[in-house]
Amino acid sequence: MTTPVGSLAVSATPLAGVSKDEWSALLQANPSASAFSLRAFHQAWWGAHGGGAEDVSIAARSASSGELLGYLPLMRRPDGVIYSGATLHIDYATVLLAPHTGAPSQESDPVADALATSLLALNSPINMMRIRPADVAHVRMVASIQRAAAAASRAATFAIEEPAPYIDLQGIHTLDEHLDRLDKKQRHEIRRKVRRGEAAGVQISASEDIGADLPEFIRLHRARWGERGLFTATSKGAEEEAFLRELFVKTPRDTITMLMARNEEFGTFAAGLFLRDACALRYWNAGGDAAARALSPGVLLFVHGLTLAINEGRAQLDFLRGNEPYKYECGAVDAQVMKLEIPR
């Protein structure tokens, strides 16, 4: 059902109701969005993981032209709660909004307000996960949902979900410039491990065909994480493989880079996935053989990824969610990923 809201038409619109071209046009109007906001991520997620969820996404269009002006991906899980769409396997939520010049915390925001009002009208518990304060659309959407909740006399709690450490690369032009910001011990350890890798003949290069190399990545991920990892010998493990396979096919070229570490002794012994968008290079996932642990594959992949980010002029190397110690040892500082919860 389509509900007119001023000059807007707001309706429940599952992913299939938004074309690839419409999504791309609206995404281009959101330069602070992450790579997780690509339509391909949502398409791959619903194909692999969506069996237990209902797509209750909402679209706002121009009532006169039909142009897509806002899209809020949402999913209702079996627990009855509405979550940000696809976020159980994606680090940052997607909110796509046409530009607005007002201050979102103080003024009305017609497109975001219309989506928020429709969200509250679903009369379900709400958990907007993976909110990224650096994404302008996320900030606007949170402000609109808070206004809508207040108007409906519903309590809204906005709190930290978890940290997402990153390295700020603004003004950094070389690897050494970044390493010089670390304390002496950290700097020495990273350089020592790089030299050890060089002495062992380690070569790191980007996969020329990430689809063909997916089985090798899965092997290395299993070697590193075992039953704690994604690709377990279960139906969920099969879903994860299907998700990545579909994603590798659907994402635009150069969005995903798979770095692979090799030498003569071990062959390919480590691999890491990096996502690329206008804001950052994002270190998404990795794996490696335990037999090559002495070569510190995590550090070698980090150094190569950081060098890649610097050479490409990225503003950040983003380690994504999680406070693992190695991220801070590499010089990362916290950004906070937020969540907005509204009970029934």
Write the pLDDT tens digit of every residue in 263-279. 999 999 999 999 999 99
Instruction: Give the dihedral sign, CA 13/17/23/29.
Output: negative
* E strands in the chain: 2-5, 8-12, 54-55, 58-62, 68-72, 74-76, 82-84, 96-97, 126-131, 157-168, 203-206, 256-263, 267-276, 281-288, 316-318, 333-342
Instruction: Kindly report the average pLDDT of the chain as a whole number.
Output: 94
Architecture (CATH level 2) of domain 2-163: 3-Layer(aba) Sandwich (3.40)
Structural tokens at position 97: 């909004």
pLDDT of residue 103: 59
Strands 126-131 and 74-76: unpaired
pLDDT of residue 102: 63
Q: Report how far residue 33's alpha carbon sits from residue 93's, in angstroms, rounded to the nearest whole number.
A: 9
pTM of the predicted structure, to 2 decimals: 0.93
Q: What is the mean pLDDT of each run of 10 residues along the chain (344 residues)?
A: 75 97 97 97 95 95 96 96 92 96 69 97 96 97 97 96 97 97 95 97 97 96 91 92 95 95 97 96 96 96 98 97 94 97 93
Is-same-fold flag (2-163; 171-314)?
yes
Architecture (CATH level 2) of domain 171-314: 3-Layer(aba) Sandwich (3.40)
pLDDT of residue 2: 63
pLDDT of residue 88: 81
pLDDT of residue 106: 58
pLDDT of residue 44: 96
Q: CA 245 → CA 217, 254, 256, distances in Å?
A: 11, 16, 12
**Could you state, in order of their start, the residue ranges of all structural domains in the chain?**
2-163, 171-314
pLDDT of residue 100: 83
